Structure 1
Amino acid sequence: MASGGFPATGQVVNIVTGTDVALYRGVRGRTGHPVIQGASKALSFVGEHGGVFLATGLVGAAVDKDRRGQWLRATATIATAHVASMALKRVVRRPRPDFEGLEPLVRTAGRHSFPSSHSVSAAASVVAFRGLVPAKVTVPTAVAMGFSRLVVGVHYPTDVIGGAAMGAAAAAMGRSWSQRATSVPKGI
């Protein structure tokens, strides 16, 4: 063990990578229907830089004056999660999928794949918008957004799963901070 690492690490990485590629190819090979591809392209467009989620938060803040602060904090949380995902991409630098015969259906803002920033923003919206937007809307939207990243061919499954985990965790931290920052201790 000259490298000083664990001997099984390389095997685990190979298994995960092989599974990731197999799932990617499987999804791409079974989602050629024009309706699926069209919906996935549309989700890709509206989800770029968290756009649909940020717009939802800003519209919510504009029309729901009683909860404007909640809407704005939720929107800031989603924006922060998205920016953090973009920074992490520059650290990890995982290349996007590139397989002959499986060209991407959309252009991307960058060339790095992990994590999926669309998935980060979508999962962050589920947590950040809790109590503002019903889960029956946010959860299916987040799942569809994540799946669409595979359909359009710009992410591996682990990019999407990692992005969803990052988005949910970041938003949970944001909500916790926001609740502490806006609560007034008793006796003051």
Structure 2
Amino acid sequence: MRHVDHRLLAAARDCGHRSPATAAAARALSFSGEHGALWLAAGLAGAAADRERRRAWLRATALTGAAHAVGMGVKRLVRRPRPDGGAALVRTAGRHSFPSCHATSATAAALLFGALSPGVRRLAAPVAAAMCLSRLVVGVHYPTDVVAGALLGAATATTGARWAMRDVPARPRLRARAPGGWSRG
């Protein structure tokens, strides 16, 4: 597994070193995701824009911050060194790599914010995926760091989802009806 981890990292890192546009995008995503900043700002913007679900947006934002904090705690326990063997395209806040806290907060936010709004889901999911990949392109995480971070973010979001969404009105579900198709109900 270690060999695969290193090969995938090298391939992603090469993309950033060969393409200035890819490197710039990866740097921007990495910078905006530092300490979950992009996701915390997005959650606060959602709370400001969606009065009906304001409290849920604030709880989802808090849970996204908590996911990031959990990732930092795991990182301090595991203490896996960051990749070496190539110049990273960004500076990092710390020396440890596992798990990727960018992936943790991005995944938690995409799941939680996406549950609040289908439109946000269509935007947040690809941005979160791109942010996860950016950490490989800039050369500061191994693929297993990113996968572990995403799993930790998903677990945190899933664990806290009931609390975060407790006063969100249920959306009508589609159900089958006899010949003629679907109906709302």
Identity, % of aligned pairs?
A: 51
Secondary structure of residue in 2 paired with 1:52: helix
Counterparts of 1:8-47 in structure 2, within 5 Å, are 16-31=1-16, 32-47=18-33
Q: Distance in 2 between matches of 1:118 and 1:105?
A: 16
Match of 1:94 among 53, 72, 80: 80
| Structure 1 residue 138, shift from structure 2 partner | 1.2
| Structure 1 residue 126, shift from structure 2 partner | 1.4
| Structure 1 residue 63, shift from structure 2 partner | 2.4
Counterparts of 1:105-184 in structure 2, within 5 Å, are 105-129=89-113, 130-132=115-117, 133-179=119-165
Structure 1 or 2: more strand by fraction: 2
CA contact (8 A) 2:30 2:135 kept: yes
Q: TM-score, normalised by structure 1?
A: 0.84
CA contact (8 A) 2:75 2:98 kept: yes
Q: Distance in 1 between matches of 2:15 and 2:133?
A: 12
Q: Distance in 1 between matches of 2:40 and 2:33?
A: 9
Q: How many residues align?
A: 166
Q: TM-score, normalised by structure 2?
A: 0.85
Secondary structure of residue in 2 paired with 1:103: coil
Letter in 2 for 1:112: H
How big is each residue's C-alpha offset from its partner over 1:118-164, in whole Å with a ceiling of 9 and x where there is no partner? 00011001111122353221110111001000010100000001101
CA contact (8 A) 2:63 2:160 kept: yes
Letter in 1 for 2:111: V
How large is the RMSD of aligned CA atoms in angstroms? 1.7
| Structure 1 residue 177, shift from structure 2 partner | 3.4
* Structure 1: gaps (5+ residues): 1-15, 184-188
Q: Distance in 2 between matches of 1:44 and 1:56?
A: 16
